[in-house]
Chain A
């Protein structure tokens, strides 16, 4: 099949908020821009389902800025890069003001004023309700008007490096993609590449993330990008209601003052998270519910009966899917409670992926990343999705500006044709032979290995090592047997393979961090160790090494204003007897 070739100053991979903002900013700066998206821009990824965006209602400064920053730094368990937090809060204002000017339909009150509201994770910082899909439609139209070239239904399968090495010692010069239905190869040459590929989750039909399985994470990893925060790669949720249906908008539901109760009507969150209580993060709530269930106090319920009619109206307005789902299942929140269905999987929350600097630059020249698909400088660990969408825009804007400076000094790079052929041949391999394993079988096996209480919630060295071995066996013995009869199955085959690579990497990082912090809880180290672990774990693929190689990066607390408590802080999280460490 004929190959399609594209050349541009900037290539953006992934068309969510960050990718769109990056593409628009680069175009505004006079760059030629191509944006490639596996689905269709405005019908893809978590951006489409966002219900609110972190949006300061003013340019905060001085002591107030410090108080707003404090919220992030504490929320991120002192892992946040405070320089990033500061620029994030300041520029979040600029970016959302731009969105307002572009005509994004944010939620307004009866008088027509923007309605700034609070959301899980923030007591000071404000957010604006918005339908993510409507926002992305505005950005899509804008990109078309600014002559950004949109290449859709094309999945990027590998990045191209200047020295043809993986991991590279050079720079990124483009990417190879295939059309998801026809398999038509697409080759992109660019001076700079900006990744906005979203999170990685297993395919569990949840959080609308089934097409975000870590392909670009894995491609960046193979190319040699340095990753950070992989030990916190745990995604959890609680809104699988009545074991039957789910709605997005968990942060909004918490925001209107939801109560979490066990079978005897006790509000239990205070016990598990004395600081945030019922406004706690998804993982903290999910593990509390599971622990209540394990200890025989379940099932647990979501109770909105005390919430005023006015607040429920607001909830429905900003999260129409909540209203639709409640209607479909005949739930009246003023009368009914909902049984909570929690789960915990290996996946990104908002702090696991390529490590980026203040300009969204990765460790490889010419490669930028923003949004969920980065370590988010550990900015929003445990904080809601509304934060990540604005972070993505701030990062995208910065990446575009930095890429522009870079591109002034460069020519469109040349690429190695032989390497492109090799990449495509390797990609199409599972189609060539009749084998027996389906990718969906492997997802179930991943679930069986990783979604046990002892691994997901009560980690020990032994349990993590056991999971690594099982996942490696899966990768070595089952993945090569996957059979893909058509393009659709081929894409799925690569999705599960890439997810598995990222899951194994996450397990290695969980093993390396010998303390408990945020989404990582270890029974054998049940304390936050601020003497030894105010550090990031950086990890890279090293030539000739089978396992990932870690370095420990001390955080800049000599310079930063917000100081952490010192010493070992015991985790308040109770461990049921049967999950205590085996001797």
Chain B
């Protein structure tokens, strides 16, 4: 999963948004509607990240940390059920 996007490093180049095969990253307005500070990159659908690391590989300022930690949904792993 994407553990962290360092917004201090991120320069908003959008590459991660384009390279994500499951399309889970988005650029959104930062702040409140009445006080927009600019833009920020967020993981809009964190449950759908499949830890492929393409965003981290493509990020040219190394702002994205992806762990290999992965949770296969429990119903697909429980073979003791009959």
Contacts and interface: CB of A to CB of B under 8 A. Distances in A.
Contact of A43 (B51, B54, B76): B54
Given A39-B23, A43-B19, A488-B45, A343 B77 contact: yes
Contacts of A456: 79
Interface stretch (B5-13, B29-37, B66-74): B66-74
A233 to B, nearest CB: 15
Interface string A437-464: 0001001111110011110110000000
A453 B22 contact: no
The main secondary structure of chain A at its interface with chain B is mixed
A563 to B, nearest CB: 37
A294 B79 contact: yes
Contacts of B50: 205-206, 208-210
Interface stretch (A113-121, A250-258, A322-330, A416-424): A322-330
A456 B20 CA distance: 31
Query: Which of B44, B57, B80 is the most central at the interface, judged by chain A CB atoms within 10 Å of its CB?
Result: B80
Contacts of A488: 23, 44-45
Contacts of A240: 70, 72, 77
Contact of A45 (B21, B48, B68, B75): B21
A211 B22 contact: yes
Contacts, number: 117
B79 A328 contact: no
Interface in A38-64: 39-40, 43-45, 48-49
Given A49-B52, A208-B50, A211-B21, A246 B68 contact: yes
Contacts of B22: 39, 210-211
A341 B77 contact: yes
Contacts of A39: 20-23
Interface string B13-31: 0000011111100000000
A489 to B, nearest CB: 9
Nearest to A291: B79
- What's the interface size class on B, roughly? 20 to 34
Contact of B76 (A244, A328, A343, A453): A343
A434 interface: no
A240 B58 CA distance: 25
A526 interface: no
A451 B68 contact: no
Given A345-B76, A447-B76, A210 B48 contact: yes
A202 interface: yes
A293 B80 CA distance: 9
Contacts of B47: 440
A247 B72 contact: no
Given A43-B19, A48-B21, A204 B79 contact: no
Interface in A453-486: 453-454, 456-457
Given A208-B50, A328-B67, A453-B80, A447 B21 contact: no
Contacts of A40: 18-19, 21
A269 interface: no
B75 to A, nearest CB: 3
Contact of A48 (B54, B69, B73): B54
A247 B69 CA distance: 10
Given A39-B23, A208-B52, A290 B72 contact: no
Given A40-B18, A44-B21, A205 B68 contact: no
B21 A43 contact: yes
Interface in A184-207: 202-206
Contact of B79 (A43, A44, A206, A452): A452
Contact of B71 (A205, A211, A444, A452): A205
A578 interface: yes
Given A48-B21, A205-B50, 19 more contacts: A43-B20, A44-B21, A205-B71, A240-B70, A245-B68, A246-B70, A321-B68, A325-B68, A328-B68, A343-B77, A446-B75, A447-B73, A448-B75, A451-B76, A451-B81, A452-B78, A454-B82, A488-B44, A579-B82
The 3 closest A-B pairs by CB, nearest first: A447-B75, A245-B68, A39-B21
